[in-house]
Every structure is written in C-alpha cells, then in structure tokens.
Structure 1
C-alpha cells in the first residue's frame, strides 16, 4: 500500500471517531401521559349501560306478543260459536285494541255472534253475547227498505226500532188519510244486509212479538211499513 492511501485511511478513521465522540448518546423521545379522570370514565360507563338498557327494553316491547282468539270460519248473526269457528294467534297487540285472549276461548264457545264474523279477524268481546237475538215468543220478519228509507245511522243487531204503519199512497192522494196517529209496533234488529247492487234495497230482519208478527208481515206486503230508530235510552 502507498503512503498516500495510508494517510487517507488514517485521517478517515480519526474523523469518524471524533464525530462519534462529539455527538454523544441520543435520548429517546418523551411521550406525554394523559392523566385519567375517574369522573369521566364513570360517566361514560353509565351512558353505555343506560343505552344498553334502553335497547333491551325496546327489543322486549317489539317482541312482546299476545295470544288472542281469531275467527277461522264465517259466522252469521245469532249463530252459536263452536271450537271449529275459532282459532288462536300470536300477535303484537296494541293496547287500544280489544281482543279476546286465548285463555278465554272456552268462555266464548257456546255464546252467540252479536255481529257477522269474518274469517281472519280478531274476536272482540263486544262481538259475542250470551243472549239470544231471537227470544222465546218472538218472530222474525224481513223488511225491505228502499235507499231513501234506510237510516243514515248504521243498523246493528240488538238495536230497538219502531215499526210504523203508514197509509197507502192512493189513500193519501184522495184525502182519505185518517187524522189519528199511525199505528206502531215495537221491534228489534236481528240483522241488516248490505245494499243490493242496482236497487240499493237493504233487507232488515226484525224480531217482534209473535202476536205482532203477522201484522208486520201484512204491512210489509202492502208497502205501508216504515222503520223508525228508537233512541238509545228508549224502551
């Protein structure tokens, strides 16, 4: 090796050594540690717990279902209910909806339908009755009402009515209408049909006493009968 190379090597070695001795050891970076606040931690845990409880309550409310009685076959007004007419279903029931609970199904069997029951509907307590709509000693007379004779208020089973005998149209035209009050008889609605297509005629089955039944039938045949609703507190 030449003397020139030796001097360069020696100088480089001395330079590195001097630089290393001058720099000294390198200190690691300082990491600041945040001070934990127990109050904030406790509040966070409380909020998490409250949120979890709220979700749990919501899930329970949404998932809560009630066993109720349903109608599985069509039942006419006054018909006695049997087990084959009814079923059970589990539904999320709104508190405002009144429905017969499945536990009370045995009490409903044997009662009569107060209204016409449709398959697939929930059974309400007001739709059944222990009373017969046609009582002993009564007769049922069908009365056809023209559209202008049908009351605006809905005719419901059990509603009390008055059967009014009006003079024939020809008698009214000739001035031979009697000056006395028209004859009236008491009755009670058993069933009312829907308006017939085309004519709009509504047929109402009315229960009346056996003594008055033939008279009412005669009025219907002559077209001299009108049906008048009785006030709810009327006798």
Structure 2
C-alpha cells in the first residue's frame, strides 16, 4: 500500500507561505485621539479676538483729523492772519493738542507766543491775546552764559527779575552808590537757542521805558543777573 506524502511549502524559518500572507495583510491597530471640545472652542475664540484687534487697529490708523497748520514763518508777537495758517488732515495721536480746523477763526487775530515754523501743527499754547511789548516799554537783549541760564525753559510772557550785582573788584563805596536801584521787573519776549561753541543764550526782555537804559548799562558792565519771578509776579 503506497503512501502519498502531502508536501507543504515552507520557508527557511519554518513558516508556511499562507502564514506569511496572513501576517502581512493584518492591519495595524490605530488608536484614534479623542478631540476635546474645550480646546477647539478656545482656538476659535482666540482667532476671533485677533481678527477684532486687527480691525480696530485699521480703523484707528485710517481715522484722520482736520487740524490747523503753520504755512510760513511767524515771529514772536506777530498777529496771525489767514496767510500764516492752513489746514491738513492727519492721523492725530490723542496726546497731541493741536488746534482743530473748526477753531481756526478763534486763533486768527491772536499773537504768536513763540516762533512758528512752516509745516508744524498749531497748538493753543503757541498763541496769546496779550501784547508782548506794550506801549511805553523797551526791549533789552541780555546775553546769558551757560551757568546763568535757568534750567526752566524761558518762554515768551514769563515774568523775570533783573538783579544788579557789584562788578568784580568793586569797592564798598561803589556798591553802596548802586544800592538805590538794585532790581528791575521784566518780561521775556523771546529766548534764543544756545549759540554753538559759547553756549550763550540771548533773551529779549521787556522793561519799562525808564528802566530800559539802566538795564542796558548793567548788561554792558556784566553786572546783571536774571531771576525767574513767581507765577503771580511776586
């Protein structure tokens, strides 16, 4: 009786080809990640907030204001006319206190309290109703060395006190002869910038007509000092 041998193809590892095919097509197990609704909601909220911020920024940049500008040089004390001023539409920072174009008529006819330059924006602090040099007054230019210039900026209209000091090397009799008139009231009309090299600042001071010559003599003798007066003039 003959025996029939059933052969099975095997690999060198001893596995059948059917086993290899079965193992090859077995799909891997994939664990699905759970989506968290809270994270999705937060992401959407951040996106919406960012879009709103960009929109607000664009609106602010696009917002422009009509303001009054200076179109030509204006000296201190000069009366402002329509030829001196113009208007412009600018993106204005809230910290800038510029005169709005609707208030142009309110500054016309006033005087420049400071020197105005073309292309600058006009602010209310740069104009005044007061006459800087009144009838019966004289203007005396006073040169101040760097150590004599007050740390507080000198502005037009500021009240000052002009003090006479004895000249270096003066005798007691000479100092006593000057004791009758030692101070003069004055008011700043204009102050220049520091001169290059020397640092000297020239201040135009308005005094009474009777005190003008005396003040000029003090300046010539280098015996004058400028003192800032209190806000109420005392």
The question of a shared fold, defined as TM-score above 0.5 by the shorter chain, is answered with yes
SS of equivalent to 2:83: helix
Partner of 2:170: 171
Partner of 1:137: 136
Partner of 1:160: 159
Cα deviation, 1:147-189, whole Å, max 9, x if unaligned, reads: 22222221111111111111121315x7864395871010010
How many aligned residue pairs are there? Answer: 192
Distance 1:92 1:222, change over 3 A: same
Partner of 1:31: none
- 1:59 CA drift (Å): 3.5
Unaligned 5+ residue runs, structure 2?
1-44
Q: Give the alignment of 1:37-186 within 5 angstroms.
A: 57-171=56-170, 177-178=175-176, 183-186=182-185
Return the TM-score normalized by structure 1: 0.72
CA distance in 1, matches of 2:47, 2:182: 78
SS of equivalent to 1:171: coil
CA distance in 2, matches of 1:167, 1:48: 76
Return the TM-score normalized by structure 2: 0.72
Contact 1:78–1:114 (CA under 8 A) maintained in structure 2: yes
CA distance in 2, matches of 1:176, 1:208: 25
CA distance in 2, matches of 1:209, 1:177: 24
CA-based RMSD of the aligned residues comes to 2.7
SS of equivalent to 2:226: strand
Distance 1:120 1:83, change over 3 A: same
CA distance in 1, matches of 2:162, 2:197: 26
Contact 1:164–1:182 (CA under 8 A) maintained in structure 2: no
CA distance in 1, matches of 2:181, 2:96: 45
Q: Please tell me whether residue 212 in structure 1 is matched to residue 211 in structure 2.
A: yes
Contact 1:166–1:182 (CA under 8 A) maintained in structure 2: no
Distance 1:112 1:55, change over 3 A: same
Contact 1:188–1:206 (CA under 8 A) maintained in structure 2: yes
CA distance in 2, matches of 1:220, 1:51: 66
- 1:68 CA drift (Å): 0.2
SS of equivalent to 1:178: helix
